[in-house]
Chain A
Amino acid sequence: MKPPSLGAIFLGLIPFVAVCFSVSLWDRVHPMVLGLPFNLFWLILWILLTPVCMWYAYRLEAPRAPNHFSRKERVRP
């Protein structure tokens, strides 16, 4: 199998850094944002931002995939 492109891997690393490796930077209660403790706010924010990163990764990866016909669903024979 062809491994994913470097660009797509980089886009996937962004959420990993944001919600996993950087935990000691954002794991605190203050400042509260929208009434939420900061750590909870941060994680919810990244639930919304992660699909954005992965959508760009999709744009990079989809044309490289086997059987790719533009954006149409492939019909099984």
Chain B
Amino acid sequence: MNGAKTIEIAVVGHTNTGKTSLLRTLSRDTRFGEVSDRPATTRDVRGVLLLADGEPVVALYDTPGLEDAMGVSALLAEQHADAADPVAAVEVFLAGDHGNGRYEQEAKVLRQMLRSDAALYVVDAREPVRAKHREELRLLAACGKPLLPVLNFVASGEADAGTWRAQLARLGLHVLAEFDTVVYDARAERSVFERLASLLEDRRADFERLQASREREREALIDAACRAVAELLVDAAGARRHGALDADSESLHEQLRDAIRGAEQRCVDTLLGLFRFELDAYIPPALPLQQGRWQLDAFDPQTLRHFGIRTGSAAAAGGAAGLAVDAAVGGMSLGAAALLGAGIGAGWSALRSFGQPWLDRLRGEQRIALEEPTLALLAARQCLLLRALLRRGHASQDRVHTDTPQGWPSEALRQAVLRCRAHPEWSRLNGSADGSVPAPVLRHLVASVRALLN
């Protein structure tokens, strides 16, 4: 804390403009206070401390909405006109009975203003500028504290930020911030703290420390979120289920589908948990999983390519030659030809990649894995969800909606995920496998996901 006390900021404004919402979004706490589209939802003054690396820096106070500033102004003009200055008049008003208790709510706001170092005046930018707003600003200015107007709901089509800027300038308020509490924008948040720092210049270092800590934390969260998505994709790509050749394949498919659904839900829970949204905010629709595929059926070109790369790097060009022959005869003699062509080193790779299905068949087992379109769908949906969460304010009360995903979000991600298909040992969904992905593979996948967020 550099020995200084916390910076106290009152959050004030007309009723139902989103003051509590602002506190929710700034504190990333969906449970702070009560939010509704009605007047006088907040009737007490509640505070929340913003911490930088565990130390308190800024205290924000949520106040009841101003509803009748004109009435208070009339009362001040009528009863306290002889006060030495506007602040003295407000103090006399606060010491009195607040117009027989009629202006209790306004009194709380003014009292908190006097206690604070500065105030954020929250404006619903969808509303036109009216006399009551001007009256409120005059009343708040009478408290003698720096005031920063914050235009809320600017992302809405109804918002008219330009008119608000012009009108606020006419009242002498040239510094203001635009911050939508429902549609989150990290840059807008930074500008709120920057503007506050310019109003409270001697506390600039504290604001910068707070902002730096918050940005670090958000970066860490985004990293972790990308990793959660990447790990889901590795798990799904390598997921296998096997049973007897003559067993009911539908029940095998169902097992695989259940495993994938469970993994996707865990990933969604993790994303929501990381960004601290309520866990019921997003429910993925049932996966339109395609029939899990027989690995023994037509060898997938992707897996083939993977196989070719591996034998090429492991041992010999002979392996590739063997492969070409195999491709010509429809993959039927693949394992054997590659063995002959490449020798033991490549042969081992061949056995690992393709011997298993043959072994399974000899043992009388069938083995199923996910189709590529299903993987594409999983990838696209998680990326969309992540993007939606990054743009979601903690005051938002709607459920998260994502668009219908259209195929792979990017070619880079597709390549990275398809590489993982030949590695059931990387997946955590196969029971015995330990699910440890080589670090470079995971890093590449995470980077591919991260690239989609910009």
Q: Report if A and B associate in a common complex.
A: no
Residues of A at the B interface (CB closer than 8 Å) are none
